[in-house]
Amino acid sequence: MVITTANPEAGQYVQSSTFASRYVRDPLPRFKMPENSMPKEAAYQVIHDELMLDGNPRLNLASFVTTWMEPECDQLMMAAINKNYVDMDEYPVTTELQNRCVNMIANLYHAPIGSDETAVGVGTVGSSEAIMLAGLAFKRKWQQKRKSQGKPYDKPNMVTGANVQVCWEKFARYFEVELKEVKLREGYYVMDPVKAVEMVDENTICVAAILGSTLTGEFENVKLLNELLTNKNKETGWDTPIHVDAASGGFIAPFVYPDLEWDFRLPLVKSINVSGHKYGLVYAGVGWVVWRSKNDLPDDLVFHINYLGSDQPTFTLNFSKGSSQIIAQYYQLIRLGFEGYKNIMENCIENARILKEGIESTGRFEVVSKDIGVPLVAFALKDSSKYTVFQISDSLRKFGWIVPAYTMPADAEHVAVLRVVVREDFGRSLAERLISHIKEVVKELDSHPSHIVAKDSHVVSVAVAVEEGSKGGGAAKRSERMIQEKVTKQWRHFVESKRIGVC
């Protein structure tokens, strides 16, 4: 959500809509509720006109989130839009569909089904909530064990890579868990399992591995992590578990890389989260978390309520939520089946390959993403001395494309990349059109004089940076890496100044 600050200029007005003025003559207050009602046609037109300035979701290549579904599924979602999912007694069929989804996903991840171990899971509003719930389960289970041993339980920590999504940082801060991050390095942009296990101590509640890094789409080596952590647990007597954040890759690996061992086939993997609204192919607002067994979800985290008609167990951070996304997930699972998901994911990977080859053909970029992973293309400029990836990102917007540019986390901050996420609705024709527009942008930027000081955006040019370094007694000739770091730092500062408080 966006953190919004109350605006003291309450007297501002929304500019009158051309069409709505047929119904309304008075201007509409921007930050105060209007005194009087207006015709429904006018309210619709005012909002519709403002929304025209939003970007096109289909051209938003920054997002992993699904932007297209079949009309039949849209109809099911609209029919259920007034159902509150939490009212299980009133809507038992919706609850049953959620249970079926959990079972299908658990089976997809090779969850044990038997008398000793039986997987459990819940639907969430996304992977962020799923990760919060999984993290709470790990923390509570660790605390219970420490209490039973008479040991301190006030300093829990968790080991992750520096490439984790921000929801992990939120969990650590909100629930007071120290986040121990394995730093990255140039050319290796995922968590190193060896370094991760070295950071594990008796206070570690879990090690989090990512199946599909947000930065490059790469799958982390969960199997090696399991082997190394198993050995350390034997040596120390600890039982540090693994959580797999499969938000992006959880609906890709089972269909395209079935022999890749990353899930419950590995004994230390105790819980897995996945985003249904990413490659689960559902509109934004649904995620899933599955635990290996009931023993991995402490009972005291589960609440029981009866004021909606019957005893209902619940383990969520929120309460009320819509049923539409749950129903849509079930639709996709039975509509597509294993074969359908496999075909879609393979097609996405093929389109990513075409895009990658087209970008490489320009001779200007180095692709840093891997062939095995989430279907995306992350690429960096080979030479950033004349212009940067941030300028390319900005120039692509004139064609309607939203292609993010960003810097890598510690210790690879000097590397800046562009990233294109290939979703189901990003076909070959769009890939070819994007390649042509990238070439056009590069050609245009090449025609500009180099080392320009962009005063309007407060961006310091490389030439000025070098000159200032010389005046200070430094060498006039900087290394290529130092120049790249300087340019990236200035652009990063510029981008930070344009943010509006999104969290």
Task: Count the residues in the chain.
Answer: 503
What pLDDT score does 68 carry? 95
pLDDT at 495 over 60: no
Percent of the chain at pLDDT above 70?
83
Mean pLDDT of 299-317: 77
- Count the Cβ atoms, other than its own, within 10 Å of residue 425: 15
pLDDT tens column, 381-394:
999 999 999 999 99
What pLDDT score does 499 carry? 44
Distance, in Å, from the CA atom of 187 to the CA atom of 370, rounded to the nearest integer, reads 11
| DSSP line for 222-236 | HHHHHHHHHHHHHHH
Q: Residue 28 in 3-state DSSP?
A: strand
Distance, in Å, from the CA atom of 155 to the CA atom of 184, rounded to the nearest integer, reads 25
pLDDT at 478 over 60: no
Q: Which residues pair with 424 in a beta bridge?
A: none
Mean pLDDT of 60-72: 96
DSSP state of 83: -
Q: For residue 308, what are its two tokens?
A: 């909606």
Write the single-letter amino acid at 430: L
pLDDT at 471 over 70: no
Mean pLDDT of 207-232: 98
DSSP state of 244: E
Q: Residue 124 in 3-state DSSP?
A: strand
**Class of residue 261 by CB neighbours under 10 A (exposed 0-12, middle 13-18, buried 19+):** middle
Weakest mean pLDDT among 35-44, 64-73, 258-267, 346-355: 35-44
- Count the Cβ atoms, other than its own, within 10 Å of residue 421: 25
Mean pLDDT of 7-21: 60
Residues 104, 109, 112, 118, CA torsion sign: negative
Tokens 């064609």 appear where?
Answer: 399
pLDDT class for 456, splitting at 50, 70, 90? very low
pLDDT class for 201, splitting at 50, 70, 90? very high
More confident position, 475 or 420: 420
Q: Measuring CA to CA, which residue among 170, 161, 97 is closest to residue 130?
A: 170
pLDDT at 453 over 60: no
Distance, in Å, from the CA atom of 127 to the CA atom of 278, rounded to the nearest integer, reads 10
What pLDDT score does 490 carry? 62
pLDDT at 2 over 50: yes
Mean pLDDT of 320-327: 94
Residues 6+ apart with CB under 8 A from 110: 263, 264, 265
Q: Residue 158 in 3-state DSSP?
A: strand
Q: Which residues pair with 406 in a beta bridge?
A: 417
pLDDT at 476 over 80: no
Virtual CA dihedral for 118, 319, 247, 265, nearest 10 degrees? -10
| DSSP line for 31-54 | SS--SS---HHHHHHHHHHHHTTS
What pLDDT score does 479 carry? 58
Weakest mean pLDDT among 132-146, 172-186, 239-253, 474-488: 474-488
Q: Do 275 and 63 touch, CB atoms closer than 8 A?
A: no
Predicted TM-score (pTM) of the model is 0.87
